Structure 1
């Protein structure tokens, strides 16, 4: 395979399925977000969850240009991502898809589920007639950077953030 060509994963081969996140998934989703060194510093998983998580979930659920999606294997929630569809004036007014909050449960990694989930999201962007899919990942996540490059993503821009 050409190293610049995106890796293709057949979701049927992994047995994973995708669906919109439900309110009953929220605690497990926050747990996944908190289950790494970076997430552990910024997330507050506990019982009860801070109200901000429920408010954000409802805002995402009500917005037709936002989808919070979970990956399910058997009866187990094994992954999540948020995909946001953004209109732009560039590219002749075409839309972009932004992928954020990608997580695979720690006990389900290295089984092709992440590639299947990203493949699903890219197809979803195609279905919405997006001109591109973009995402960011923390530079400290070296494995994630290699993963996205293997899937065909290119570090074409220098991203910057200002925390408020």
Structure 2
């Protein structure tokens, strides 16, 4: 396993990586139902990338093995009043390329993400995982995460104008 890790690096995503990132997001069963992968990406993905890239509290991480993108995750640093003015980090969109799953790359990427958070003064790391992904929940628990809260989401319908309505 140490041999694999020696070939891994992570870095901030670039616009040139976006097609591969969207492909990773759309590879799993849930992603296939909510993402729209094609070589010509929807402008909404490009606009979202620029918003993320221009926000100093966002870090879209790319994991590479021998210069090939094999994983991604999205980190958001959030100042908070709770826990005596703590800083939190939300981890989202954790994906490992299909051909590389089961090789402990997700563990390496999550550890890299948590080191990044520590470097930013984070004292709480949080994430959600879809209830349809029980193996993901087990993976996060193995890393030390605890299911302390019940997460909720409200999806608004996306209109043609890209504005959302209830």
TM-score by length of 2: 0.90
1:1-164 paired onto structure 2 within 5 Å: 13=5, 15-164=7-156
Structure 1 position 75, deviation (Å): 2.4
Could you tell me how far apart the structure 2 residues matched to 1:17 and 1:47 are? 25
**Is residue 5–residue 108 contact of structure 2 (8 Å, CA) maintained in 1?**
no
Could you tell me how far apart the structure 1 residues matched to 2:145 and 2:84 are? 22
Q: Residues 12 and 111 (structure 1 numbering): CA distance in 2 closer, same or farther, change over 3 Å?
A: closer
Structure 1 position 130, deviation (Å): 1.0
Could you tell me how far apart the structure 1 residues matched to 2:116 and 2:72 are? 14
For residue 60 of structure 1, give the secondary structure of its aligned residue in structure 2.
Answer: helix
Runs of 4+ in 1 over 6 A off after TM superposition: 9-12
Structure 1 position 15, deviation (Å): 2.3
For residue 37 of structure 1, give the secondary structure of its aligned residue in structure 2.
Answer: coil
Could you tell me how far apart the structure 2 residues matched to 1:66 and 1:11 are? 30
Could you tell me how far apart the structure 1 residues matched to 2:143 and 2:5 are? 17
Structure 1 position 10, deviation (Å): 7.1
Q: Residues 142 and 88 (structure 1 numbering): CA distance in 2 closer, same or farther, change over 3 Å?
A: same
For residue 101 of structure 1, give the secondary structure of its aligned residue in structure 2.
Answer: strand
Gaps of 5+ in 1: 1-8
Structure 1 position 91, deviation (Å): 1.1
2:163 aligns with none
**Is residue 11–residue 17 contact of structure 1 (8 Å, CA) maintained in 2?**
no
For residue 162 of structure 1, give the secondary structure of its aligned residue in structure 2.
Answer: coil
Gaps of 5+ in 2: 157-166
Q: Residues 85 and 31 (structure 1 numbering): CA distance in 2 closer, same or farther, change over 3 Å?
A: same
RMSD of aligned residue pairs (Cα, Å) = 1.5
Could you tell me how far apart the structure 1 residues matched to 2:29 and 2:13 are? 24
Cα-to-partner distance string for 1:89-135 (whole Å, 9 max, x where unaligned): 00111110000000000001111110000001111111111111000
